[in-house]
């Protein structure tokens, strides 16, 4: 009994030492993570500066030259070899990402996908991010790309969520999903978002909104120059096409605007207008019938 009592202080001392070491280890890991994030931001800023200064022109010329050479080789390759190398598109592997811009009619359009998914045999999955952020950390982007690319059990898939554009090829993925989106007249979108924060919508009428109870009108907000009504808020749609670079979320950035335009033209199958949603749905039904057959009828007449 005496030996047990004597060993008790030693046990407490050992536990204390272990806790100290764990605390030091946790602090060390957090410092390393912060340093890594700082390095990523610095690298992104360097890439932006290089693109602004035209330092990538030589790389682009070399790439173009190599591409032309490969095209020449392909053109002179025997037809039997060409046929053996062709990869036919399988709609069972289809992945569409709708990185929806808030208050552009996205809920109405997404509900059509939910209504069609059983009959047209595809999966609809909502992209949830921490604290509803529109961007992910670099490591989370990598996991996102890997999960979506390899989750064959959920293909074909229609993903939707308020998330900035992610270039899958940047992370080494061979398969780039099909991106689609809707945009809206900027002032109309901002006004809609302003009142949404106060009164919500019919989709989730019982959910308490951030500004619920605030009776201020949009005109009053503008006249008082409140932060949520400043002209910078008209910028919100650009970052969703620009992506996850920090510069994308800098209102008025010329680089972000050009990057958003490049991504829209290069990486999006269809980008529609909220004011012309019927045309947007008609184009999707004609282009991706495996998912959107019946979408136009559903939009026009409901179930």
Question: Is residue 294 helix, strand or coil?
Answer: coil
CA dihedral 67, 72, 75, 78 (to 10 degrees): -110
**To which H or E segment does residue 271 belong?**
strand 268-273
Residue tagged active-site, from 76, 126, 134, 162: 162
160 is catalytic: yes
CA angle 63, 249, 270 (to 5 degrees): 60
> How much is the CA Rg of the chain, to the nearest whole Å?
26
The position carrying tokens 């690298």 is 43
CA distance 248 to 264: 14
Question: Is residue 174 helix, strand or coil?
Answer: coil
Count of C-beta atoms within a 10 Å radius of residue 278: 12
Residue tagged active-site, from 76, 126, 134, 160: 160
* Residue 248 contacts residue 256 (beta carbons within 8 Å): yes
Report CA-CA distances (Å) from 183 to 174, 211, 244, 270, 299.
28, 24, 18, 11, 18
Tokens of 33: 């993570």
Active-site residue list: 160, 162
């Amino acid at each position: 009994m005496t030996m047990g009592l004597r060993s008790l202080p030693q046990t407490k001392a050992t536990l204390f030492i272990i806790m100290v070491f764990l605390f030091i280890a946790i602090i060390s890991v957090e410092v390393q993570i912060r340093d890594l994030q700082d390095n990523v931001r610095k690298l992104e800023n360097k890439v932006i500066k290089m693109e602004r200064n035209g330092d990538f022109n030589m790389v682009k010329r070399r790439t173009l030259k190599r591409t032309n050479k490969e095209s020449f080789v392909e053109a002179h390759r025997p037809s039997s070899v060409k046929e053996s190398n062709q990869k036919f598109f399988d709609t069972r592997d289809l992945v569409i990402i709708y990185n929806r811009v808030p208050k552009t009619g996205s809920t109405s359009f997404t509900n059509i996908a939910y209504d069609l998914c059983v009959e047209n045999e595809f999966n609809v999955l909502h992209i949830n991010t921490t604290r509803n952020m529109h961007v992910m950390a670099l490591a989370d982007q990598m996991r996102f790309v890997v999960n979506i690319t390899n989750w064959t059990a959920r293909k074909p898939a229609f993903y939707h969520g308020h998330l900035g554009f992610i270039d899958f090829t940047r992370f080494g993925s061979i398969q780039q999903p099909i991106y689609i989106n809707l945009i809206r007249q900027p002032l109309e979108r901002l006004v809609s978002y302003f009142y949404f924060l106060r009164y919500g919508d019919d989709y989730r009428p019982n959910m308490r909104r951030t500004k619920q109870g605030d009776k201020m009108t949009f005109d009053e907000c503008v006249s008082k120059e409140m932060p949520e009504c400043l002209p910078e808020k008209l910028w919100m749609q650009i970052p969703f096409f620009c992506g996850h670079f920090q510069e994308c979320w800098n209102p008025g950035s010329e680089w972000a605007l050009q990057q958003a335009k490049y991504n829209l033209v290069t990486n999006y199958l269809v980008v529609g207008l909220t004011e012309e949603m019927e045309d947007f749905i008609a184009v999707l039904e004609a282009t991706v019938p495996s998912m959107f057959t019946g979408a136009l009828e559903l939009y026009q007449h409901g179930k």
